[in-house]
């Protein structure tokens, strides 16, 4: 009889903790575990954000989006990064260690898609599709890529887009890892205008990360278009005439100062930024806007104005040009020359001339002399 009384108590002692555990998991911890369960089987695949189109003054397209195929992955769904990188390296033409490093990186959200390679070629797409079962966690997604109609001929003007950097992720609002943003030129200056709204696809996956079904989709909305003052035909002509010479060309409308063309060489390839980084000629330097150059003969106008304003010379005063000017700098003498006469291949000697003749002739010696009379400070103030 004692045993019969003890048995129910033992059963109660066994089931009470079990019941409490079930109650804790099913009731108290229901929502946290439900959320975790959903994260394990649900994925939000971000769609590329369409950027606005950039037009020239006549409505010709300078930059627009075009469709492409990107190789993406979900970090949580990856199984064997070593094996995956070994399979993909020869096909993607990326070092195995680099692929492995990208796949193994600690991402803040392991359920969020990341990009392994953008704009896949036909052979790459076919290979990934054929080997899909061996590549859990990886998938091909239709995306968008910027198409630059003028290529290198307008790259310093229009700029390019690239993936947001860690520093930009902290500084900018409404951006996620893998987003494309304007990095240089018009693309960067008007990034907030050109950028659209993010969309995404909600899918269910199995234990291997393979898609089971689509649960919902929200389309991305495109950004705003912009129209530049640039004329495509003038831009092309300026680039063609400059050729491969290092330098820049800027064409302006004299009536209102609008920029009709802006070319800088060497320039980078907006479709292959990495190869341009190794170019020794500084292709990312916009020589029209960032280059520091002596103003040359343009400053002769300022020199003339300063000389007349300070009354160190009158319009009828004459100075002699012998083709050479000696200037004392401490204990040494520096020699400055007039420009070379192409007919004689000698330094030009203008003789005795006044300011009305010196400016059209652009005489270095005349303006060098009156520049010394005016002084450096007054010359800078006039400029």
Second CATH level (architecture) for the domain 44-48+64-149+183-224? Alpha-Beta Complex (3.90)
Q: Which CATH architecture has domain 296-382?
A: 3-Layer(aba) Sandwich (3.40)
**Separation of CA 269 from chain center:** 11
User: Which pLDDT value is given to residue 262?
Assistant: 98
Please give the Cα distance from 183 to 156 (Å, whole number).
Answer: 11
Output the pLDDT for position 327: 93
Question: What crossing angle do the helices spanning 81-92 and 96-104 adopt, rounded to 10°?
Answer: 130
Helix (H) or strand (E) holding 304: helix 299-309
Q: What is the pLDDT of residue 36?
A: 43
In contact, 341 and 348? CB cutoff 8 Å: yes
- Partners of 47 in beta bridges: 199
Question: Residue 33: what pLDDT?
Answer: 44
Of 352, 358, 367, 229, residue with least CA distance to 296: 367
Give the pLDDT confidence score for residue 113 in this predicted structure: 87
Q: Cβ(73)–Cβ(58) under 8 Å?
A: no
Alpha-carbon span 212 to 203, nearest angstrom: 7
β-partners of residue 250 are: 262
Comma-separated ranges of CATH 3.40.710.10 domains in the chain? 296-382
pTM of the model: 0.73
pLDDT tens for the 383 residues of the chain, in order: 555 555 566 666 666 666 665 655 566 555 554 444 445 677 778 888 999 999 999 999 999 999 999 999 989 889 899 999 999 999 999 999 999 999 998 887 888 889 999 999 999 999 999 998 899 999 999 999 999 999 999 999 999 999 999 899 889 888 888 899 999 999 999 999 999 999 988 888 776 666 778 788 888 999 999 999 999 999 999 999 999 999 999 999 999 999 999 999 999 999 989 888 888 889 999 999 998 888 889 899 999 999 999 999 999 999 999 999 999 888 899 999 999 988 889 999 999 999 999 999 999 999 999 999 999 898 888 87
97 neighbors 86 (Cβ within 8 angstroms): no
Q: Where in the chain is the domain with CATH 3.90.1310.10?
A: 44-48+64-149+183-224
Q: Could you give the CA distance from residue 367 to residue 321 in angstroms, rounded to a whole number? A: 10
Pair 365, 355: CB distance under 8 Å? no
Q: Are 331 and 322 in contact (CB under 8 A)?
A: no
Tokens standing for 38?
């959903």
CA distance 27 to 226: 55
């Amino acid at each position: 009889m004692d045993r019969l009384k003890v048995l129910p108590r033992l059963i109660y002692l066994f089931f009470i903790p079990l019941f409490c555990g079930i109650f804790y998991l099913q009731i108290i911890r229901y929502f946290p575990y439900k959320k975790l369960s959903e994260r394990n089987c649900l994925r939000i695949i971000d769609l590329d954000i369409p950027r606005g189109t950039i037009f020239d003054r006549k409505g010709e397209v300078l930059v627009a989006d075009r469709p492409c195929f990107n190789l993406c992955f979900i970090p949580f769904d990856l199984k064997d990064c070593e094996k995956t990188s070994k399979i993909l390296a020869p096909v993607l033409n990326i070092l195995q260690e680099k692929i492995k490093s990208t796949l193994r990186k600690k991402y803040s959200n392991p359920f969020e898609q990341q990009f392994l390679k953008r704009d896949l070629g036909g052979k790459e797409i076919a290979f990934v599709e054929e080997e899909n079962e061996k590549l859990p966690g990886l998938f091909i997604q239709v995306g968008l890529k910027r198409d630059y109609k003028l290529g290198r001929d307008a790259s310093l003007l229009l700029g390019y887009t690239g993936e947001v950097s860690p520093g930009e992720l902290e500084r900018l609002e409404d951006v996620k890892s893998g987003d494309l943003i304007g990095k240089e030129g018009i693309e960067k200056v008007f990034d907030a205008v050109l950028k659209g709204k993010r969309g995404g696809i909600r899918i269910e996956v199995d234990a291997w990360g393979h898609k089971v079904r689509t649960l919902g989709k929200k389309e991305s909305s495109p950004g705003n278009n912009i129209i530049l003052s640039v004329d495509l035909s003038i831009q092309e002509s300026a680039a063609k005439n400059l050729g491969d010479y290092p330098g820049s060309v800027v064409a302006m409308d004299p009536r209102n100062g609008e920029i009709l063309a802006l070319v800088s060489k060497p320039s980078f390839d907006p479709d292959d930024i990495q190869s341009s980084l190794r170019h020794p000629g500084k292709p990312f330097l916009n020589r029209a806007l960032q280059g520091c150059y002596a103003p040359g003969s343009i400053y002769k106008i300022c020199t003339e104005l300063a000389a007349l304003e300070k009354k160190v010379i009158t319009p009828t005063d004459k100075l002699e040009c012998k083709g050479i000017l000696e200037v004392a700098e401490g204990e040494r003498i520096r020699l400055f020359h007039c420009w070379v006469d192409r007919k004689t291949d000698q330094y030009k000697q203008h003789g005795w001339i006044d300011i009305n003749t010196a400016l059209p002739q652009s005489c270095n010696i005349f303006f060098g002399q009156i520049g010394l009379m005016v002084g450096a400070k007054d010359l800078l103030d006039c400029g």
